């Protein structure tokens, strides 16, 4: 037997032991993740139990029931998928698209692009309608496109986290039904924070994530689909080309059969149960009201400090505000200053808004008057230190 030389976990310069895992304390006021609620963290730290244990099965039912309330739907197939928001996003494409099928994607930011990329990988016939980052689609535009293009699926992002736009969804569900098309909604930055009525708005399938409105760490992605979507799924000619995200297999675990598919991330499910319970306790309408009020206070405060907001108030997104970086300000410098010296994270602009806006998130547990006041104070006292004109005079 040759003597194996084990690879050291330590690099050459660091020959001491790793210290215990340490994470600095942060207030996350960016595009996500958002801070988890302390009660959610308590639930997360419980010892795992078996994913087929009857206590766990009962917890799964609670999660489904609480999710139906939060989604405002009665869909049997409502479950948190393992993985971040993009997992349920990919499930929505992988399960409902067969090669060559037509999908129409309304794209007005980065996450519309991701849907296009996924649909292309699953070999859909992809049509795209596009708006500049910071605008929304009108009902008439969407209606016209669905009626003329006749897609099998119409997909749109409700809350575009890259641009700060809230897309109105009224009436689109009816147009989809009349045109025999499934209505797919990305609700990653709206679930548990903003008005969202899955049944009433006739949304056939929707997905979200745990780390934005639900006050949990990243790791789960709530998903829901109605009977129209179930019919489409069961009439597939070919197998779902993604094993891990195959909803017909997942349904056997989350439905009444409880057949093993993959080991559930049990602690994340403890966490989401707690996050959803807190929403139900507060009451969904109170939660929506809190998000709207805190966002309005942020907008008014920023404007009274002379800041300009990127999106018109008519369709501005309460969970994520895009603020224009004033021309004479070092945007990255200010952002890094907030993080390093105050432990507060705000986001940089993404894609075509990079360097042009900051992104400020007020989501879930973090949507509070206290956080708004704290951030506004820092804009008031610290921003002037990052004026390029001022620093160049030193
Ligand atoms: C965050 C986000 C996603 C992706 O979710 P991940 O949890 O990062 O995988 C998708 N869509 C929108 C609108 C988002 O804001």
Residues 210-252: tens digit of each pLDDT: 999 999 999 999 999 999 999 999 999 999 999 999 999 999 8
Q: Check if the beta carbon of residue 372 is closer than 8 Å to that of residue 301.
A: yes
Task: Specify the CATH number for the domain of residue 176.
Answer: 3.40.640.10
Pair (247, 338) in one structural domain: no
Residues with CB under 6 A from ligand 1: 32, 84-86, 89, 111, 157, 159, 161, 186, 188-189, 209, 218
The CA distances from residue 87 to 121, 209, 220, 295, 324, in Å, are 14, 9, 8, 28, 31
3-state SS, residue 349: coil
How many domains are there within the chain?
Answer: 2
Which of 85, 136, 210 gets mutated to test ligand 1 (max ligand atoms within 8 A of its CB)?
Answer: 85
For position 15, what pLDDT does the model report?
60
| 305 and 220 together in one domain | no
Q: What is the mean pLDDT of residues 295-302?
A: 98
CA distance 233 to 231: 5
Q: Is residue 92 located within the same domain as residue 217?
A: yes
- Ligand 1 centroid–CA 89 distance in Å is 8
Whether the predicted pLDDT of 117 surpasses 60: yes
Question: Does 206 lie in the same domain as 59?
Answer: yes
Residue 41's Cβ-count burial label (10 Å; 0-12, 13-18, 19+) is middle
Owner of token pair 């010296």: 341
* pTM, rounded to two decimals: 0.95
Q: What does the pLDDT read at residue 10?
A: 66
CB neighbour burial string for 141-152, b if at least 16 within 10 angstroms, e if fewer:
ebbebbeebebb
Q: What is the dihedral of CA 340, 345, 350, 353, to 10 degrees?
A: -80
Q: Are residues 337 and 252 in the same domain?
A: no
- Tell how strand 205-207 and strand 220-225 pair up: antiparallel
Question: Which residue is closest in CA terms to ligand 1's atom 5?
Answer: 85
Domain annotation covers residue 260:
yes
Nearest CA to ligand 1 atom 3: 85
State the residue range of the domain holding 362: 27-33+283-386
Q: Give buried/exposed letters for 371-387 (b at 16+ CB in 10 A, else e).
A: bbeebbebbeeebeebb
Same domain, 162 and 121: yes
Cα distances (angstroms) measured from residue 327 to each of 311, 324, 336, 348, 390: 17, 9, 18, 15, 13
Q: Say yes or no: 311 and 369 in one domain.
A: yes
pLDDT band, very low/low/confident/very high, at 2 (cuts 50, 70, 90): low
Encode pLDDT of 345-392 as tens digits.
999 999 999 999 999 999 999 999 999 999 999 999 999 999 876 544
Selected residue with higher pLDDT from 19 and 207: 207
Binned at pLDDT 50, 70 and 90, residue 12 comes out as low
Same domain flag for 295 and 253: no
**In a shared domain, residues 146 and 50:** yes
Worst-scoring range by mean pLDDT, 145-154, 159-168, 247-256? 247-256
* Residue identifier of the C-alpha nearest atom 14 of ligand 1: 188
Residue 193 Cα to ligand 1 middle (Å): 15
The answer to whether residues 156 and 184 belong to one domain is yes
22 found inside a domain: no
């Amino acid at each position: 037997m040759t003597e194996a030389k084990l690879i050291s976990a330590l690099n050459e310069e660091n020959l001491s032991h790793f210290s215990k895992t340490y994470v600095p304390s942060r207030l996350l006021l960016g595009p996500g993740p958002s801070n988890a609620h302390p009660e959610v963290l308590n639930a997360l730290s419980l010892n795992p139990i078996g994913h087929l244990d009857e206590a766990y099965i009962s917890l799964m039912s609670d999660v489904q029931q609480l999710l139906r309330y939060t989604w405002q739907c009665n869909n049997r197939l409502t479950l948190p998928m393992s993985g971040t928001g993009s997992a349920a996003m990919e499930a929505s494409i992988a399960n409902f698209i067969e090669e060559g099928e037509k999908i129409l994607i309304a794209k007005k930011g980065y996450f519309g692009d991701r849907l296009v990329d996924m649909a292309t990988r699953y070999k859909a016939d992809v049509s795209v309608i596009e708006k500049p980052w910071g605008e929304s689609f009108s009902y008439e535009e969407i209606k016209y496109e669905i009626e003329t293009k006749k897609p099998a699926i119409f997909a749109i992002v409700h809350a575009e986290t890259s641009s700060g736009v809230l897309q109105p969804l009224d009436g689109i569900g009816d147009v989809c039904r009349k045109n025999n098309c499934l209505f797919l909604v990305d609700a990653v930055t709206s679930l548990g924070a903003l008005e969202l009525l899955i049944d009433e708005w006739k949304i056939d399938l929707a997905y979200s994530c745990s780390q934005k409105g639900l006050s949990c760490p990243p790791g789960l992605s709530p998903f829901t689909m109605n009977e129209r979507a179930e019919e489409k799924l069961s009439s597939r000619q070919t197998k779902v080309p993604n094993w891990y995200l195959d909803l017909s297999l997942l349904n056997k675990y989350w439905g009444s059969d409880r057949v093993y598919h993959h080991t559930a991330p049990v602690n994340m499910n403890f966490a989401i149960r707690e996050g959803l319970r807190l929403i139900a306790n507060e009451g969904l309408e109170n939660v929506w009201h809190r998000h709207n009020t805190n966002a309005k206070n942020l907008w008014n405060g920023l404007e009274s400090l002379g800041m300009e907001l990127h999106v018109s108030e008519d369709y501005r997104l309460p969970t994520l505000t895009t603020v224009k970086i004033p021309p004479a300000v070092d945007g990255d410098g200010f952002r890094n200053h907030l993080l390093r010296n105050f432990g507060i994270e705000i986001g940089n602009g993404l894609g075509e808004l990079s360097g042009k806006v900051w992104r400020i998130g007020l989501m879930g547990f973090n949507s509070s008057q206290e956080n708004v006041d704290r951030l506004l104070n820092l804009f008031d006292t610290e921003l002037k230190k990052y004026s390029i004109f001022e620093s160049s005079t030193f």
